[in-house]
Structure 1
Amino acid sequence: MKTKLLMLMLFCLSIGLQQVQALQDVTETYIINPSFEEGDGDIPTYWGFDSAGVFKGWYVSHPAISYNNDEADDTKTGTYIFGIWGNSADYEVSQIIQNLPAGTYLLSCDMTVPTNNMTTQRLFAGNATIGYKAQYFAESSLDTVPGEEYSYAGHEVDGNGGGPLKPLSIILTLDQADSLVIGVRTNGSRTAICDTAVFNKLGGAGWFKIDNFQLSLIEDLDAYYDDMVRAEVAWLDSFDVDLLPLGYAPIIDSVKIQAQTLIDGTETSETILAFVDDVESLVEELGLAATAFETLNNYFLQAQDLMENTDFEGKAELEFGVNEAASLVAAETSLLADFEAAIVVIRQAIRA
């Protein structure tokens, strides 16, 4: 097991080195106050907005419901974050990057949305030439705004007011040097552009906290996407298939073959991103399956100990339950659901 972990660490390190070549961090060159650490002068302040609603590089559409403070958990970067509270309308915090050279860029930030407060919180970027792209925090967004090419980060809306902050990102291309508007938008109960019949019922919904804007030049887009695929394969390699339900081994093998096909081919970015989403869902399921495997194994050991080392009525019923549970997981196609069903059976047999 230690050997496998070492191999995984070395593999991930090699991925990281390749990503350094594919991505060039240009945040400090082009984004002012990217992590909201700078207030008036050299000292961060909680209320550093001027009369025009500008806060150290950032335009703020509604300063009265905006804040810059340290009230976030350890998923923040540095000390301070930026956020809004209150009955928001059509809100924007943004910055104009001037004279950004031609190229393909990755823009990202971290965001948290409190539970039951999702409206249309989204990262956005663009200009009049290339249009605007947006990535919504969650697929439960109440609306999408016309004029934006959009995607979803797919996060759960489970924030507690202080975090956790989760990543959003956009890839966009400039064919020539141009300015670029970046930032975050949201719409609340006083919106003028969304379905007011729905939004008026939301009170203060639309709140968010953000941090850690980053801008990277993607020097080789194909290499960047290849790195994404390799990183997903590395996650799969971190699982010991001998400690998973039997049905996952052929699934993992099939995904690895698909990954190599993507790396060797010229698939579209949409295809690659869909593959990454699918693998991330599979990795989440594998984690649950590994836990179920361990739990079931412990129940089998407990049942074996009861049958071999104790004298009690009901051994026949326990043995029947063990055999039934074993039959559920013995199939070469067994998956998480089969192990979860087996856990229920053997647990009930032990308690009977």
Structure 2
Amino acid sequence: MSKFNITDTVNTFSELGKHLAAPNAQLMDIIETERQYNAWFTPESVLTAVKATGDMLNKADLEKWLDKYDLTKGGNKKVGLVLAGNIPLVGFHDVLCVLVTGNHALIKASSQDARLIKYVLNKLVEIDNSYADSFSFVERLENFDAIIATGSNNTSRYFEYYFGKVPNIIRKNRNSIALLSGDESGEELAALGHDIFDYYGLGCRNVSKLLVPDGYVFNFFFESIEHFAPIIHHHKYNNNYDYNKSIYLVNRDEHLDNGFLLLKQDARLTSPLSCLHYETYTDVQSAQKQLQEQTDNLQCIVTTVPLKTQNQVVNFGQSQHPQLWDYADGVDTMEFLSQLS
């Protein structure tokens, strides 16, 4: 790739964004058939992810984002990327960061999400051929100068063992949480449904737990998310729902059930698929203390309550619509890449 030019970079990636925001027939064919390779990747989920990526790549935000960094130095490093595959195109932001910093992306794509990322990068090369030699898809990572690897708490130990000797970003499990005041409107709670159910709750930005005020009654919450009921018709989601419901019943665990979501009071941040944990709080200060204790395990907090926190705070319905500067785990990927020497 030629020397960094912010205008060219913005124009190229905003053009890619327009293509993703309004998919053509070829892309729609991939969107429609992804479920043949990954049952969770329904056309609705894949289209949501593709359009969200397209919306993220708008000219104004690209300019604002790239203007923060000195990208005239460095580059030309081989950066190994171990991409996750839990939701469609989840690894694209890491690839984007490597490319705009003038480095070469060695991409170990997830078997769960290999076709989409290849299509997007091929489209990028169609738009601007200078990126043709800026990435490679590999089965095995070797000869790299740095690593960005996304996985679970278990795989992170292996990542640290194998990749610990080079500059690295190694990501572990994280979850997201919603803090309710009890004064939310039906529209806000309906939007919260997207934070819970989009991508079937498989993403680290999906809400897995609620913090609610003492005495909170869930009737209005359940009424507001009723339009998400068709999620139960997805066979894998339904299997999880039936299994977790039977476990709760056999163990006589107190829980709430609206026919497609199980709600259980539980201190744990991570909840099983089709389930949502909740805890209560007495006042905002105590809620903030609970959140503070989970800082390193939280990807984002969904709320309209004013908070002092290191974690990213987003409005209802926005957890799965990150902006370019909303970095996973709060680690500035661009700063990391631009400092490689």
TM-score range, shorter chain: under 0.3
Report the structure number with the largest CA radius of gyration: 1
TM value normalised by structure 2: 0.22
Q: Which has the larger strand fraction? A: 1
